[in-house]
Amino acid sequence: MKELLKDLDKAFENKIRLGIMSALVVNEHLDFSSLKNLLDVTDGNLASHLKSLEKKEYVTFKKEFLGRKPNTKYHATPKGKNAFKKHIQAIEQLLN
Domain count within the chain: 1
The string of pLDDT tens digits covering residues 75-88 is 999 999 999 999 99
Region 66-76 average pLDDT: 93
Note whether residue 31 is domain-resident: yes
pLDDT at site 96: 85
Note whether residue 3 is domain-resident: no
Distance (Å, whole) CA 9 – CA 24: 17
- Reply yes or no on whether the pLDDT at 51 is more than 70: yes
Note whether residue 38 is domain-resident: yes
Note whether residue 7 is domain-resident: no
Note whether residue 17 is domain-resident: no
| Structural domain boundaries enclosing 75 | 23-90
> Helices (DSSP H) in 1-96: which residue ranges?
2-5, 15-26, 32-39, 43-55, 78-95
Mean pLDDT of the chain: 94
CATH number of the domain that 55 lies in? 1.10.10.10
